[in-house]
Amino acid sequence: MSTAIWPEPYLQPDRNQDCGFYATAYIVRCLGAPDVTAGEVKAWRELTKYHETAYPRDVTGAETRTWASLEVTAAERAEYYMGPGGEPWVRRWLDDGWIGYATVFRVPDMAHAVVVLGASDDGVLLMDPLSGFVTEPWEWFLGIGPGRYGCHYIESWYRGAS
């Protein structure tokens, strides 16, 4: 799985805070605004009181889909919480040109934001603000599925404005 088409990883300096701001800024960089910083995303959140996952849509006009989007049916909402069997769903989004903001639990009881960039038989390509590019096995990435604490999920999918 190649990382050549993506901007350089954008790493958070403090391992315990701001991963969501770094992940969001990285997504915006992937969508064509290479100079956006986590600090800008954080300042926008403080000003607007909106979660940082709204930044790509509200500031750059990126096409966005979340579990709460009007375009998403009730049946589709559960898929955002992945779980075993979710690989085809993730691959469909990625194959259609979307980039994902995912919440995972690398450490129990601590949510962590990562960017979902690609997929292969080996797993899913992530930009993790802690370590940069990493391919995680499907079994780990898809996690335990909905209805359980610690379930990995896709917060939002993004692609460039049409």
Does 13 fall in a domain? no
Question: From CA 20, how far away is CA 104, in angstroms rounded?
Answer: 11
Mean pLDDT of 5-26: 96
Q: Is 57 among the domain residues?
A: yes
Give a yes or no: residue 65 inside a domain. Answer: yes
Beta strands in 36-161 (DSSP E): 63-66, 99-107, 110-120, 123-128, 132-136, 153-159
Q: Is 145 exposed, middle or buried (0-12, 13-18, 19+ CB in 10 A)?
A: middle
Is residue 14 included in any domain, yes or no? no
Residue 152, domain extent:
19-159
Three-class DSSP category at 47: helix
d(CA 40, CA 159): 20
Q: What is the mean pLDDT of residues 70-74?
A: 78
SS3 23: helix
Domain count, the chain: 1
- Please check whether residue 132 is in contact with residue 145, taking contact to mean a CB–CB distance below 8 angstroms: no
Average pLDDT along the chain: 93
- pLDDT on residue 17: 94
Read off the CATH number of the domain in which 39 is found.
3.90.70.10
pLDDT of residue 72: 78
pLDDT score for 162: 62
Mean pLDDT over residues 86-101, rounded? 96
pLDDT of residue 77: 83
Average pLDDT over residues 136-162: 90
Residue 2 within any structural domain of the chain: no
Confirm whether 76 is domain-assigned: yes
Of residues 5 and 23, more confidently modeled: 23
